[in-house]
Amino acid sequence: MFEREQNDQRSESKPWHRPVLLEETLEGWVYSEAKYLVDGTVGGGGHSEAALERYPNVRLLGLDRDLDALAEAGKTLARFGDRVHLRQGSYARLDQHLAAIGWPAQVDGILLDLGVSSHQLDTAERGFSFRMDGALDMRFAQAGEDTPTAAELVNQASEEELTGWFREWGEERQAKRVARAILRWRERERIDTTAQLLACFESVLGSRTPKGRVHPATRCFQALRIAVNREFEHIDTFLAQFPAWLVSGGQIAILSFHSLEDRRVKQRFRALATGTDDPNVPLMDRDDPTFSLLHRKPITGSEEEIEQNPRARSALLRAAKKR
């Protein structure tokens, strides 16, 4: 299940980013006794704003790799004053951020809203979307990190690297053909714009979008974005460490937008809730579970929410509670 680009329905009055599954996320994230909450992907501040409004005793740390997002969150959350700390950086280094602001090493709740935001998709010069021509950038952090642009990667990577990204992270069956098309294009000229890369992909995958399906280039664009931002490296590091960052009774909620993200979250939550990541291990040989799942299956958007916010159609919410 891959997230779909939501670049239609743009307007000047469109919110910076509309939070997905807002009520469902709050139910699995905060509760009245919570004091310290972390929004590891604060974006425009939608989920954080709702939590701060609902729970007046809560203090919040909002993290994001994107300085544009932090600027917007600063506007959204300004009225909450010193209840809010905003910092640029990755949720995978949460312990460092907590220490930097003098918070306890363990918090009451953590939220991650993974993937790309509506604002990033809607900003042509960020290069996340092939719906608009722009510089091939795709970096979450355009400053503060030593991250190559998508143009740098696509013009320098080997055929083997490109094939691996498209096959593993894009689940693209024609990954090798796409990689070879890029190498042929590079022999004529650099690939510096989203329009060039789209044309290269379409030369192999075609341009026709079957009814009810995503554009043929979607998977490869997402795979390249994942490579640029080392997204799974950050996710895997976080999933390995987050239990140490929650108090007993603390809750975590993670919103995923495609299958490779959700699979990682599902497997980690299941291992923590069953005492092992191997379902074949006998019960008597398992460790005591350290977490309980708040939902047996992921929560998805309702028909009404999907109609109002098409991005919700790819959303999968999982939540768990530390024992």
3-state secondary structure 101-152: HCCCCCEEEEEEECCCCHHHHHCHHHCCCCCCCCECCCCCCCCCCCCCCHHH
Of 212, 229, 246, the residue at which a domain comes to its end is 229
CA 253, CA 202: separation in Å to the nearest integer?
37
Same domain flag for 260 and 174: no
pLDDT at 73: 97
- The predicted-structure confidence for 5-54, as pLDDT tens digits, reads as follows 433 333 344 566 678 999 999 887 777 788 999 999 999 999 999 999 99
Of 190, 211, 229, the residue at which a domain comes to its end is 229
Same domain flag for 27 and 164: no
In a domain, 134, yes or no: no
Tell me the average pLDDT across 172-182.
98
CATH number at residue 33: 3.40.50.150
* Residue ranges with strand state E in the chain: 36-39, 59-64, 84-88, 107-113, 246-256, 291-293, 316-322
- The predicted-structure confidence for 229-247, as pLDDT tens digits, reads as follows 999 999 999 999 999 999 9
Q: Looking at the whole model, is its pTM more than 0.85?
A: yes
Of 194, 229, 264, the residue at which a domain comes to its end is 229
Non-local CB neighbours of 50 within 8 Å, separated by 6+ positions = 19, 22, 26
Structural domain of 114: 22-118+232-322
Q: How far does CA 179 lie from the centroid of its chain?
A: 25
How many domains does one find in the chain?
A: 2
Same domain flag for 290 and 161: no
In a domain, 141, yes or no: no
